[in-house]
A = this chain, B = another copy of it.
Amino acid sequence: VVNIREKLYMIDCGEGAQLQLRRSRLRFTRLNHIFISHLHGDHCFGLPGLVSTFGMLGRTATLHVYAPHGAEAVFRPLLDFFCARLPYEVVFHEFDTQEASVIYSDRSLTVETIPLRHRIPCSGFLFAEKSGQRHINRGMTDFYRIPISEYNRLKNGADYTTPDGDVIANARLTTPPTPVRHYAYCSDTAYNEAMIPQLAGVDLLFHEATFAEADLPRAGETFHSTARQAAQIALSAKAKRLVIGHFSARYEDESILLNEAAEVFPAVCLAKENLRVSL
Contact = CB atoms under 8 A, between A and B. Distances in A.
Interface of A: 15-16, 18-19, 39-42, 45-46, 48-49, 52, 74, 77-78, 81-83
A41 B45 contact: no
Contacts of A41: 48-49, 52, 82-83
Interface of A, secondary structure class, is helix
B49 A45 contact: yes
Contact of A15 (B39, B46, B78, B83): B46
Given A39-B82, A45-B45, A74-B77, 10 more contacts: A15-B15, A15-B49, A16-B16, A16-B19, A40-B82, A41-B48, A41-B83, A42-B52, A45-B82, A74-B81
Nearest to A83: B41
Contacts of A15: 15-16, 18-19, 45-46, 49
A203 B42 CA distance: 39
Nearest to A57: B249
A16 B81 CA distance: 20
A69 to B, nearest CB: 13
A46 B46 CA distance: 9
A81 B38 CA distance: 13
A204 to B, nearest CB: 27
A148 to B, nearest CB: 48
Nearest to A15: B49
